[in-house]
Amino acid sequence: MAAPIKVVVTGAAGQIAYSLLYQIASGAVFGPEQPVYLHLLDIAPMMGVLEGVVMELADCALPLLAGVLPTANPEEAFKDVVAAFLVGAMPRREGMERKDLLAANVRIFKEQGQALDKVARKDVKVLVVGNPANTNALICSKYAPSIPKENFTAMTRLDQNRAQSQLAAKVGVPVKDVKRVIIWGNHSSTQFPDASNAVATIGGAEKSVAQVINDDEYMKGTFVTTVQKRGAAVIAARKMSSALSAAKAASDHMRDWFLGTGDRWVSMGVVSDGSYGAPPDVVFSFPVTVSNGQWKIVQGLTISDFARQMLDATGKELVEEKQEALDVCKD
Ligand code: NAX
Q: Ligand 1: which atom is nearest the Cα of residue 154?
A: 41
Identify whether residues 136 and 181 lie together within a single domain: no
Residue nearest to atom 6 of ligand 1 (CA): 11
CA of 8 to the centre of ligand 1 (A): 14
Give the list of residues 6+ apart from residue 36 with CB closer than 8 angstroms, or none: 4, 5, 6, 7, 24, 25, 30, 64, 65, 66
For residue 139, how far is the Cα from the chain centroid?
Answer: 15
Number of domains in the chain: 2
Do 208 and 98 share a structural domain?
no
Instruction: Quote the CA–CA distance of 277 and 308 in Å, as a whole number.
Output: 9
Instruction: Quickly state the pLDDT bin for 104 (edges 50, 70, 90).
Output: confident
ipTM over 0.85? The verdict is yes
Binding residues for NAD(+), by number, are 42, 105, 129-131
Show Cβ contacts of residue 271 under 8 Å, excluding neighbours closer than 6 positions.
Answer: 138, 141, 149, 150, 152, 281, 282, 283
Backbone angles phi, psi at 228, to 5 degrees: -60, -35
Three-class SS of 29-87: CCCCCCCEEEEEECCHHHHHHHHHHHHHHHHCCCCCEEEEEEECCHHHHHCCCCEEEEC
The percentage of the chain sitting over the pLDDT mark of 70, rounded to a whole number, equals 97
Higher pLDDT residue, 168 or 331?
168
Q: What is the bridge-based pairing of β-strands 283-291 and 266-271?
A: antiparallel
First to last CA, the chain: 48
pLDDT score at 126 = 98
Atom of ligand 1 nearest to the CA of 88: 7
In a domain, 315, yes or no: yes
Given the CA of residue 129, which atom of ligand 1 is nearest to it? 41
Atom of ligand 1 at shortest range from CA of 49: 9
- Which residues are marked as active site? 187
Confidence of residue 330 (pLDDT cuts 50, 70, 90): confident
Our answer on whether the CB atom of 104 is closer than 6 Å to any ligand 1 atom is: no
What's the Rg (C-alpha) of the chain? 19
Relative to beta strand 152-154, strand 125-128 is parallel
User: In 3-state terms, what secondary structure has residue 97?
Assistant: coil
Query: Atom 38 in ligand 1: which residue has the minimum CA distance?
Result: 129
In a domain, 328, yes or no: no
Is 329 inside a domain boundary?
A: no
Distance 88 CA to ligand 1 centre (A): 4
Question: Ligand 1: which residue has its CA nearest to atom 29?
Answer: 130
Burial zone of 328 (CB within 10 Å; 0-12 exposed, 13-18 middle, 19+ buried): middle
* 3 state SS of 98: helix
pLDDT band at 90 (very low <50, low <70, confident <90, very high): confident
Residue 199 CA to residue 210 CA, distance in Å, equals 8
One domain, residues 244 and 232:
yes
Taking the centre of ligand 1 as the mean of its atom positions, its distance from the CA of residue 58, in whole angstroms, is: 23
Tally DSSP H helices, then E strands, for the chain. Answer: 12, 14
State whether 147 and 163 are in the same domain. no
| Binding-site residues for substrate | 92, 98, 131, 162
**What is the CA angle 316-322-328, rounded to 5?**
140
Q: Does ligand 1 have an atom closer than 6 angstroms to the CB of 298?
A: no
- Tens-place pLDDT, residues 188-245: 999 999 999 999 999 999 999 999 999 999 999 999 999 999 999 999 999 988 999 9
Convert the pLDDT of each residue in 112-131 to its tens digit: 999 999 999 999 999 999 99
Question: 125-157 burial string, b = 16+ CB within 10 Å, else e?
Answer: bbbbbbbbbbbbbbbbbbbbeebebebbbbbbb
Q: Both 247 and 119 in a single domain?
A: no
Close Cβ partners of 26 (under 8 Å, ≥ 6 residues apart): 60, 62, 64
pLDDT number for residue 251: 98
Query: Is 113 close to ligand 1, i.e. is its CB under 6 Å away?
Result: no
* Domain match, 94 and 178 both: no
CATH of the domain at 258: 3.90.110.10
List the residue whose alpha carbon is closest to atom 33 of ligand 1: 91
Interacting residues of 86 by C-beta distance below 8 A, sequence separation 6+: 10, 11, 109, 112, 126, 127, 128, 129, 130, 136, 137, 140
Same-domain status, 117 and 174: no
Last residue within a domain, chosen from 92, 124, 154? 154
Q: Does 207 map to a domain? A: yes
CA dist list (Å): 241 to 81, 91, 96, 213, 277: 28, 7, 12, 30, 32
Residue 219: inside a domain, yes or no?
yes
Any ligand 1 atom below 6 A from CB of 131: yes
Q: Please give the residue range of the domain that contains residue 139.
A: 5-154
Q: Which residue, by CA, sits nearest to atom 41 of ligand 1? A: 129
Q: Specify whether 143 is located in the same domain as 194.
A: no
- Domain endpoint, select from 125, 154, 183: 154
Same domain as 304, residue 184: yes
User: Are residues 15 and 145 both part of a single domain?
Assistant: yes
Q: Quick check: CB of 110 below 6 Å from ligand 1?
A: no
Rounded to the nearest integer, the mean pLDDT of the chain is 96
Identify whether residues 135 and 224 lie together within a single domain: no
Domain boundary among 154, 178, 201: 154
Residues 310 and 228: beta-carbon distance below 8 Å: no
- Whether 50 and 195 map to the same domain: the answer is no
